[in-house]
Amino acid sequence: MNYPNGKRKSLNQNKFKQTNQGYSNRGMSLESDINVTNTYYLETDQAIIHKKPTPVQIVNVKYPKRSAAVITEAYFKQASTTDYNGIYRNKYIDFEAKETKNKTLFPLANIHEHQIKHMESIIRHGGICFFLIRFSPFEETYYFPAENLFPYWYEKQKDGRKSIPYPKIKENGTIIPFHYQKRVDYLSIIDKLYF
Amino acid sequence: MNYPNGKRKSLNQNKFKQTNQGYSNRGMSLESDINVTNTYYLETDQAIIHKKPTPVQIVNVKYPKRSAAVITEAYFKQASTTDYNGIYRNKYIDFEAKETKNKTLFPLANIHEHQIKHMESIIRHGGICFFLIRFSPFEETYYFPAENLFPYWYEKQKDGRKSIPYPKIKENGTIIPFHYQKRVDYLSIIDKLYF
């Protein structure tokens, strides 16, 4: 990545994400663990999987003389798809990462309908689609197939809130072991499930 | 896409891209034609292909009371991969779109080494990778396989500039017919080349 004018070390974009419903989909540690993992996969030529840039709506830009264009007004936009995609063993890979501080359930409030539609579509077209879910109090990260999440998302609950109980995550997902370089080695789970 | 605070209609990000070397990789008309095409593919459930958000390095954000966070300082970053990716008929699709005003050649100056490395990697892993090249003076758009571009990119030229002569684009690429809804119907070319 280039910093066009090299002026400053930038802040981390994740700092600006707010925690909501007891979890953030940009939990620093899960996201940085995934980044380390993806870099390892890339460098060892196992898979090409990237995080998409944060979508930003640009409103104002200034063009100072002899330096790079400066965006002076912009807003965060909601992503219309998932955060990560790429290719592994000829297969299209697409996933979303979510972290929760909750100890009893995984809340679905931050998963949007257009993301569900996107994931259903990906599966219909032959892609591999899943969630990486971290329960930070337990330091556990699960591979959870998107197909297993849909029923919970569609289920209307009495209080209007949607969630997956922690025991169901354990039952219908697969825990991902931690390795130093492959901190969230989700490809090992894909190998077992699909190959 | 959401405009979090709904305050203003945003400017189009492409306005801020500068034309370089006689062409821009964000040529409004090619990009908007691809967007129309991708939307059509999506709505008719033929393929799921999206443009990645423009990468932006965020430096400063303000949090006004009772309204959305405002990014007050940010810079355009160079993309590390290609602009478009997705899935079609079980296959991973990855491409870059470039428009030139040149009538005799397609300049390669705006194609960066990390993009070439990325595309080589995608092909090695079983993906379909190509360029959509528009010669705007002729209103012609070509599907040009990435494999056919690499030799030109690696070829050292006397003056240090790299390019592909227009006749070679015609010879090693495929012209894409224009349709009202499928303005750049590149899937029809993929069908012929791969299925």
Domains delineated in chain A: 19-53+79-194 (3.40.1350.10)
Type of residue found at B104: T
Strands (E) in A18-139, as ranges, are 23-24, 48-51, 56-62, 70-76, 84-88, 91-100, 105-107, 128-135
Q: According to the model, what pLDDT value does residue A188 have?
A: 97
Q: According to the model, what pLDDT value does residue B169 have?
A: 98
CA distance A13 to chain B (A): 6
Q: According to the model, what pLDDT value does residue A58 have?
A: 95
Q: According to the model, what pLDDT value does residue A161 have?
A: 82
> pLDDT for B120-170, tens place per residue?
999 999 999 999 999 999 999 999 999 999 999 998 666 778 999 999 999
Q: According to the model, what pLDDT value does residue A110 have?
A: 87
Return the DSSP state at B158.
T
Per-window interface: B 112-141 vs A, CB < 8 A: 118, 121-122, 124-127
Residues of B within 8 A of A2 (CB-CB) are 77-78
Nearest to residue A184, comparing CAs of A175, A192, A193?
A: A175
- Ranges of residues in chain A with a pLDDT under 70 are 1-28, 156-158
| Terminal-to-terminal C-alpha distance of chain A | 34
- A75 to chain B: nearest residue by CA? B70
Compute the distance between CA of residue B88 and CA of residue B98 in angstroms, rounded to an integer: 21
> pLDDT for A79-107, tens place per residue?
889 999 999 999 999 999 999 999 999 99
Compute the distance between CA of residue B21 and CA of residue B102 in angstroms, rounded to an integer: 9
Enter the ipTM.
0.83
Q: Residue B146: CA atoms inside 13 Å, Cβ hemisphere, count?
A: 22
Interface test with A, best of B10, B45, B110, B124 (most A CBs within 10 A): B10
Q: Which of A52, A73, A90 sits opposite B70 (nearest CB)?
A: A73
- Give whole-number Cα distances, B182 to B95, B157, B175, in Å: 17, 37, 14
Cα torsion A143, A53, B106, B101 to 10°: value is 140
- On average, the pLDDT of chain B sits at 87
Compute the distance between CA of residue B130 and CA of residue B123 in angstroms, rounded to an integer: 10
Reduced to 3 states, what is the DSSP secondary structure of residue B3? Answer: coil
More confident residue, B83 or A11: B83
A6 touches chain B (CB under 8 A): no
Q: According to the model, what pLDDT value does residue B30 have?
A: 95
Per-window interface: B 66-105 vs A, CB < 8 A: 68-78, 80-81, 85-92, 94
Question: Are B92 and A92 a contacting pair at CB < 8 A?
Answer: yes
Compute the distance between CA of residue B19 and CA of residue A19 in angstroms, rounded to an integer: 40
Q: According to the model, what pLDDT value does residue B157 have?
A: 62
Residues of A within 8 A of B88 (CB-CB) are 125
pLDDT band of residue B180 (cuts 50, 70, 90) is confident
Q: According to the model, what pLDDT value does residue B43 have?
A: 96
Residue B54: partners with Cβ closer than 8 Å, 6 or more residues away: A53, A56, A58, B13, B76, B79
Average pLDDT in the B53-57 region?
Answer: 93
More confident residue, B77 or B159: B77
